[in-house]
Structures are given as structure tokens and as C-alpha cells.
Structure 1
């Protein structure tokens, strides 16, 4: 498999994402449902934005690895948040996680009125290739 990251500018590097990724010779594609700060027993976790980002990313990691894929091959990460200012204030948690796993995915950040449960503040929807 070959990944070709296309980022004609440098500013997106500060946010840890790519403008586009071309994938050649992929063996498979994993489309992940939105992962939020849900506990293992299916209850929403009512924590800070930073805590919710960390738990949501842990949940995403679990799904990706259970399917036999690797986070380094994450090519798309859509982010839905109830507060862009809170998300940017806690951005280091996400950026550190991506850097730790060697991933620079394409990404879209959207502020939404609400997520599935009122306690939830952020949701990550991912596409990973093999």
C-alpha cells in the first residue's frame, strides 16, 4: 500500500492533518461509526472536553485494532463537537494522540447542536485503510 499525502500549504501542519491523501493498492478499508466518550457498559461519560476526547480516542483505537487495522493508516477523521472553542482548547490531546500513532489524516471539524446524549461533547468518525 502507498499513501501520498497532499498538502499544498504549510498551515495545516499546525493542526496535524493533511489536505488530501491518495491511497494506492489498499487491501481493505474500515469505515468507523462515530466514537464518543461512552464507557464500556454503554453509558455516556460526563467529563471535561479533554477527558471526553481521550476516552473517545481510546474507543476509536479499540474499534480499529479489533478490526485488525492500525491507527497509522487512518486517512480520514471527521470531528463533530458541541463547542469549537472547547475543542481547540483541548486540541493538544488529539494532536498528541495522532502524533503518537504517526497519523496525519484528512479531517473536517464541525460544530453541531447536540450529539446522541446530552453529556457528550465530541465524536470522531474515521476511515482507516489496510
Structure 2
């Protein structure tokens, strides 16, 4: 498999994403449903944004690894949040997770009116191998 990042600029580097990703010779593609701060018993978190972001990242990682894929091969990541204002002070948690896995992904961050039940952030990914 070959993954190529396309970045006509440099400013996106500070925001932990890539403008476009080209993938060639893929063995498999995993489309991951939005992962949120729901526990193993299916209970939605009522915690703050920081806590929900940490749990959402952990759930995303768990699904990807249990499917036999690597977080380093996330090529598309959509972040949905009920409040970019609440999320932004904790964005370094997201950036540290991205850096730890060496992920170079196309990214969309979108504020939405609501998510399921009491959830504040949701992460949807496309992963290749």
C-alpha cells in the first residue's frame, strides 16, 4: 500500500491534518461508524467535553485495532461536535493522539446541533491497509 499526502501549503501541519490523501494498492478499507463516549454497556457519557473526547478516541482506537487495522493508516477522519468552543481548548488531546499514531489524515471538523443523547463529540474514520 502507498499513501501520499497532498499539501499545497504548510499551515495545516499545525492543525494536525492533511489537505488530501492519495492511497494506492489497498488490501482493505475499513469504514468506522461514528465513535463516541459510550461505555461497554452502551451508556452514553454525561461527562464534560474533555472526558468525552478521551473516551471517543479510545473507542475509535479499539474498533480499528480489533478489526486488524492500524490507527496510523486512518486516511479520513470526520469530527462532529455540539460545540467547537468547548472542544477547542482540548484539541491538543486530539493532536497528541494523532501524533502518537503518526496519522496523516484528511480531516473535517463540523459543529452540529446535537448528537445522540448526551454526547458532545463523535469521530468517524476511514482506515486502509
The answer to whether the superposition gives a TM-score over 0.5 is yes
Q: How does 1:58-73 map to 2 (within 5 A)?
A: 58-73=58-73
- RMSD of equivalent CA atoms: 0.6
Separation of aligned partners in 1, 2:6 and 2:49:
30
Gaps of 5+ in 1: none
- List structure 1 runs of 4+ shifted beyond 6 angstroms: none
Separation of aligned partners in 1, 2:111 and 2:71:
24
TM-score computed with the length of structure 2 as normaliser: 0.98
Q: Deviations over 1:7-46 (max 9, x none)?
A: 1111111110000010010100000000000011000111
Match of 2:121 in 1: 122
Separation of aligned partners in 1, 2:67 and 2:86:
31
Gaps of 5+ in 2: none
TM-score computed with the length of structure 1 as normaliser: 0.97
